[in-house]
Structure 1
Amino acid sequence: MINTQIKPFNASAFKQGEFVEISEKDVLGKWAVFFFYPADFTFVCPTELGDLADHYAELQKRGVEVFSVSTDTHFAHKAWHDSSDTIGKINYFMVGDQAGNITNNFNVMREGQGLADRATFLIDPEGTIQAMEITAEGIGRDAEDLLRKVKAAQYVAAHPGEVCPAKWKEGEETLAPSLDLVGKI
């Protein structure tokens, strides 16, 4: 999936007290995170979505839009948003994908269950997938690590010929791959 283009989609979402229609056109031209999770009103999911909500302002400052996606409806997203303090702090898109079109487009539909895997995709402004992470049901994700990946992807996009080594943090030294580096790292 890395370096492939996102596929066309249309969906209803809940965002900041309103129902909105979205498509792949809302993704193109900006950085985006698609944050798939199995279901509303569950256990690990709200901890992840709340953690992401805590980092949303910083992602927005970096020009990144967030689309959380489950196969629940946008109506269920609103009900969860209204009934949970953790989910109530979400200001990003909560996408309803009850037909599973987006989930299937990203190949993260659980066979025979109608639920999304716990998966994250980072999309660049051209609609190309630059990073992805999929974890097992009981393993929650970390928004700080996602933010680190966003910073690295944006740095590499802005600095052709440079790459970010393991554990790279913004402001640290990068690498410029060349014959001179072979065997010296």
Structure 2
Amino acid sequence: MAKVNTPIKPFKATAFYNGKFVDITEKDVLGKWAVFFFYPADFTFVCPTELGDLADHYEELQKLGVEVFSVSTDTHFTHKAWHDSSETIGKIKYYMVGDQTFQLANNFDVLRDGQGLADRATFIVDPEGIIQAIEITAEGIGRDASDLLRKIKAAQYVASHPGEVCPAKWKEGDKTLAPSLDLVGKI
């Protein structure tokens, strides 16, 4: 089972990226921050709203050194067809990973029993390939890329500032906490 503070497992998949089909592995993730953004299926309802929202934030994510891997159990061919036929999906510049063998969905433990579809799940992975955050929502609950961006900034801050933590609602530039015996019972 994928858990926070555990490494991602080895994988091999094909993605639609920059107008081409490219093979990717876990080695392509190492050395940078990454988001694995699982969704149930192409040509659906909530999924394109989420993927479009993520596309709108992709440039800012890139400036933070974050690569995005959207993943469904559709093929990379289906991703290309959807990209070519939908205005919302057509603006995507990040990887659209085909997981028809279910390797990634199984590695991250988000494959729905008996359905062949992935849950709506997000994983933030640090440059060492360690999972730093997980979010899984029910079918009808779409995710918000601006909140994902906030979580990534917090994860990056904590990684680069040992001994500090980000409290609830933390935003870039806000005060952090330095856990100590002196803070116990005073927050």
Give TM-score scaled by structure 1 length. 1.00
Give ranges in structure 2 of 5+ residues lacking alignment. Answer: none
Once superposed, which parts of structure 1, at least 4 consecutive aligned residues long, lie more than 2 Å away? none
Residue 64 of structure 1: CA displacement? Answer: 0.2
Q: How does 1:1-185 map to 2 (within 5 A)?
A: 1-185=3-187
Paired-residue identity, %: 82
| Offset, 1:16 | 1.4
Paired residues in the alignment total 185
Q: Over aligned residue pairs, what C-alpha RMSD do you find?
A: 0.2
**Partners in 2 of 1:140 and 1:102 — Cα distance?**
21
The gaps in structure 1 that reach 5 residues or longer are none
Give SS of 2:57's match. Answer: helix
Rounded to whole Å, the distance in 1 between the matches of 2:105 and 2:63 is 27
For 2:27 and 2:167, locate their aligned partners in 1 and report how far apart those are by CA, in whole Å. Answer: 32
Q: Give deviations 1:34-82, integer Å, cap 9, x for gaps.
A: 0000000000000000000000000000000000000000000000000
Amino acid at match of 1:116: A
Q: Deviations over 1:134-162 (max 9, x none)?
A: 00000000000000000000000000000
TM-score by length of 2: 0.99
Matched residue type, 1:176:
A
Q: 2:18 and 2:53 mapped to 1: Cα distance?
A: 17
Q: Distance in 1 between matches of 2:99 and 2:111?
A: 11
Letter in 1 for 2:138: A
